[in-house]
């Protein structure tokens, strides 16, 4: 008896669970009780839309749809807000819903692991409808695998505002910037670049108050720079304790955090072709002279001038903290890095050590007597629409909406009196302390087609640039001049490359390993470590990429004649 009861009970349970599963579905479909919060507004909006068609005097918006948009999560601390849910995202969501009848959801991707996370999203088919990356190779890889929407058919019809804003391509006369990533043979466009308002890239910074204390001027040669660091180490002008002084701070991203030093050792007489062909995934390791630059870093390291923990720093955080706490003497970074509100290097440093000063210098002279350094291309980050997108039309309309001056302008400068003051007709940005704080400078993480402040007027832009920082303008002007002096414009060759794709990540990692091991090698081992590392780097795919670049370059030159 007992057994029978048990079996009946079991059957009932199975039946209930099976029927229960079905029941839920029919329930949702029939009644739409709004259990699913994201579903509810869809239905409501659809109804509204139906109503609208009955009243012809209202301009009918397209049917309600939803899009997802990638946004960088910079993981910055200090009162910043959730990048996917804050005052500015609310503003975008409300306005886009009203003007386009599109619901926008932001998807955070870590700025520091953007390629990893984007790869995962793309592979899983869950990538946002609008994605972006700074890596052109990555976008090319997605393109080659057939993962992106072809956009050339939409540019004239859907993206007039974007096309107008991006304007003509300065590096390739006669072409519009929106067509920068176009395949020259097929005319297909899979990604669109953002426009950089200014192309200054990198500068060198030093603690001026330390130099003053030691009676030294701003270094004007590599040797003077070196001597200043030695003086920092030996005389500890900041009084932080001889063991704590870090004359030069960098991270495991040596290539970037020592770029002005390294660049000054590269042969200045290289032809455009030599330079372009041998620059693999933006790394210049193979350019003549680069090795001597690394040797110089090796000497600095072995003389105790570089933080001996740099290889443990996988992002900027630790290095930033050294600068903020006032133990670091100099560093190399974005031309305006110490003056940005985020991470607020100078601001926090001065809070810790009143009177501390970080100024830009330009001491690294190459064999041609110039202080050469890289400049950015006027095309910046690339954005694209994954082939898995269910709402290409909505994504395009959103992009074009965002390109309208009124929208991007508000996102960039915010509210008067809160994030900017109008002085002489120029909006002067200032850091907000409340909910309207901007997570990235001028909200570049939302205004993805623009990098830098655009007021719609060249002279206004120049004035606003200097005034856009919350530090004295002379710091910014000097840093800008230093970063632009003898700057080497980016070389643009409009060919379609695809060899780098599968090797990009391996070469990036191996390159970092190469740089770290070479810098920390004993001086007598340096040549061996470097040559072995380079041989391995070449064999890991660099040679293959160089061969492709050489062939494409030759093809391009031939097509020009």
Partner 1 sequence: MKPKRSGRKTLLYLKRTWTLYLMLILPVAFAVIFRYLPMTNISMAVKDYNMFKGVWASPWSDPLYKWFDKAFKTKDFWLALRNTLMLNGLDLIFGFPLPIMLALLLNELAFRRYKRVTQTIVYLPHFLSWIIISGMARQLLAPRTGVVNVLLGKAGVGPINFLMEHGLYVATYIALGLWKEMGWNTIIYLAAITGINPELYEAAEVDGASRLRKIWHITLPGIRSTIIVLLIMNMGRILGSEFDRPYAMQNDLVMKVADVLSTYVYRVGIRGFQFSLTSAIGLFQSVVCVIFLFSANALAKRFGERGIW
- The distance of closest approach from Cβ of residue 244 to partner 1 in the complex, given in angstroms and rounded to an integer, is 8
Residue placing its CB nearer to partner 1 in the complex, 19 or 123: 123
- The distance of closest approach from Cβ of residue 144 to partner 1 in the complex, given in angstroms and rounded to an integer, is 10
Residue placing its CB nearer to partner 1 in the complex, 15 or 491: 15
| Dihedral (CA of 14, 20, 23, 25) sign | negative
- By CB atoms closer than 10 A (0-12, 13-18, 19+), residue 426 is buried
Residue placing its CB nearer to partner 1 in the complex, 422 or 539: 539
| Cα distance between residue 36 and residue 451, in whole Å | 38
Both tokens of 6, joined, read: 């048990």
- The distance of closest approach from Cβ of residue 319 to partner 1 in the complex, given in angstroms and rounded to an integer, is 12
- The distance of closest approach from Cβ of residue 5 to partner 1 in the complex, given in angstroms and rounded to an integer, is 11
Residue placing its CB nearer to partner 1 in the complex, 77 or 509: 509
Residue placing its CB nearer to partner 1 in the complex, 123 or 551: 123
Both tokens of 327, joined, read: 């133990």
Q: Of the candidates 121, 511, 122, 134, which has an alpha carbon nearest to the alpha carbon of residue 285?
A: 511
Residue placing its CB nearer to partner 1 in the complex, 70 or 253: 253
| Cα distance between residue 197 and residue 465, in whole Å | 10
Exposed e or buried b per residue across 117-144, where buried means at least 16 C-beta atoms within 10 angstroms of its C-beta: bbbebbeeeebbbbbbbbbbbbbbbbbb
First to last CA, the chain: 96
| Cα distance between residue 534 and residue 392, in whole Å | 43
| Cα distance between residue 154 and residue 399, in whole Å | 12
Residue placing its CB nearer to partner 1 in the complex, 200 or 306: 306
Residue placing its CB nearer to partner 1 in the complex, 421 or 531: 531
Residue pair 367/222 in contact by the 8 Å Cβ criterion: no
- The distance of closest approach from Cβ of residue 125 to partner 1 in the complex, given in angstroms and rounded to an integer, is 8
- The distance of closest approach from Cβ of residue 386 to partner 1 in the complex, given in angstroms and rounded to an integer, is 8
Residue placing its CB nearer to partner 1 in the complex, 249 or 264: 249
Asked if the bond preceding 343 is cis, omega within 30° of 0, the reply is yes
Q: What is the DSSP letter of 550?
A: H
- The distance of closest approach from Cβ of residue 228 to partner 1 in the complex, given in angstroms and rounded to an integer, is 21
- The distance of closest approach from Cβ of residue 295 to partner 1 in the complex, given in angstroms and rounded to an integer, is 18
Both tokens of 215, joined, read: 């009676």
Residue pair 134/114 in contact by the 8 Å Cβ criterion: yes
| Cα distance between residue 535 and residue 503, in whole Å | 15
| Cα distance between residue 361 and residue 297, in whole Å | 18
The string of DSSP letters for 17-28 reads HHHHHHHHHHHH
Residue placing its CB nearer to partner 1 in the complex, 189 or 245: 245
- The distance of closest approach from Cβ of residue 530 to partner 1 in the complex, given in angstroms and rounded to an integer, is 14
- The distance of closest approach from Cβ of residue 307 to partner 1 in the complex, given in angstroms and rounded to an integer, is 7
Exposed e or buried b per residue across 409-418, where buried means at least 16 C-beta atoms within 10 angstroms of its C-beta: bbbbbbeeeb
- The distance of closest approach from Cβ of residue 137 to partner 1 in the complex, given in angstroms and rounded to an integer, is 11
Residues that bind partner 1 (CB under 8 A): 3, 6-7, 10-11, 14, 115-116, 119-120, 122-123, 125, 141, 145-147, 243, 252, 307-309, 311-312, 314, 387-388, 501-506, 509, 512-513, 515-517, 520, 536, 539-540
Residue placing its CB nearer to partner 1 in the complex, 10 or 491: 10
CA distance to 131, 367, 377, 443, 487, per residue, from 451 (Å): 16, 33, 11, 9, 19
């Amino acid at each position: 008896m007992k057994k029978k009861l048990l079996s009946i009970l079991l059957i009932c349970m199975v039946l209930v669970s099976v029927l229960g599963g079905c029941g839920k579905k029919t329930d949702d479909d029939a009644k739409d009780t709004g259990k699913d919060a994201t579903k509810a507004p869809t239905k409501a909006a659809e109804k509204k839309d139906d109503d609208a068609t009955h009243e012809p005097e209202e301009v009918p918006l397209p049917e309600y749809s939803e899009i997802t948009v990638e946004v960088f999560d910079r993981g910055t601390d200090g009162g910043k807000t959730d990048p996917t849910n804050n005052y500015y995202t609310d503003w975008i969501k409300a306005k886009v819903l009203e003007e386009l009848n599109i619901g926008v959801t932001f998807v955070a991707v870590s700025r520091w692991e953007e390629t990893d996370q984007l790869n995962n999203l793309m592979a899983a088919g869950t990538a946002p409808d609008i994605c972006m990356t700074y890596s052109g190779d990555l976008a090319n890889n997605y393109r080659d695998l057939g993962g992106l929407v072809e956009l050339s058919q939409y540019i004239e019809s859907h993206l007039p505002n974007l096309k107008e804003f991006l304007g003509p391509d300065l590096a390739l006369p006669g072409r519009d910037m929106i067509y920068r990533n176009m395949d020259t043979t097929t005319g297909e466009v899979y990604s669109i670049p953002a426009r950089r308002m200014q192309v200054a890239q990198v500068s060198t910074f030093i603690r001026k108050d330390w130099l003053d204390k030691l009676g030294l001027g701003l270094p004007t040669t590599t040797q003077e720079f070196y001597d200043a660091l030695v003086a920092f180490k030996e005389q500890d002008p900041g009084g932080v304790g001889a063991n704590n002084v870090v004359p030069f701070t960098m991270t495991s991203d040596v290539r970037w955090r020592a770029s002005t030093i390294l660049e000054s050792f590269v042969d200045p007489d290289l032809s455009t072709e030599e330079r372009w062909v041998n620059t693999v995934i933006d790394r210049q390791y193979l350019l003549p002279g680069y090795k001597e630059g690394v040797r110089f870093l090796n000497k600095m390291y072995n003389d105790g001038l570089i933080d001996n923990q740099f290889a443990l720093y996988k992002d900027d955080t630790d290095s930033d903290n050294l600068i903020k706490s006032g133990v670091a003497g100099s560093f190399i970074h974005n031309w305006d890095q110490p003056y940005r509100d985020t991470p607020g290097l100078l601001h926090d440093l001065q809070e810790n050590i009143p009177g501390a000063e970080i100024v830009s210098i330009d001491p690294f002279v190459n064999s041609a007597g110039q202080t050469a350094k890289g400049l950015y291309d006027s095309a910046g980050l690339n954005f694209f629409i994954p082939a898995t997108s269910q709402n290409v039309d909505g994504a395009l309309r959103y992009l074009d909406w965002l390109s309208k001056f009124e929208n991007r302008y508000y996102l960039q400068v915010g509210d008067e009196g809160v994030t900017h003051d109008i002085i002489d007709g120029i909006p002067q940005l200032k850091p907000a302390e409340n909910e309207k704080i901007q997570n990235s400078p001028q909200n570049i993480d939302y205004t993805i087609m623009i990098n830098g402040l655009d007021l719609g007027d060249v002279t206004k832009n120049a004035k606003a640039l200097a005034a856009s920082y919350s530090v004295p303008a002379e710091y910014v002007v000097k840093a800008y001049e230093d970063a632009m002096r003898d700057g080497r414009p980016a070389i643009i060759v409009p060919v379609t490359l695809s060899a780098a794709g599968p090797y990009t990540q391996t070469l990036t990692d191996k390159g970092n390993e190469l740089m770290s091991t070479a810098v920390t090698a004993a001086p007598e081992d340096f040549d061996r470590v470097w040559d072995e590392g380079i041989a391995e780097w070449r064999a890991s795919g660099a040679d293959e990429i160089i061969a492709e670049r050489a062939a494409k370059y030759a093809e391009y030159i031939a097509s020009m004649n």
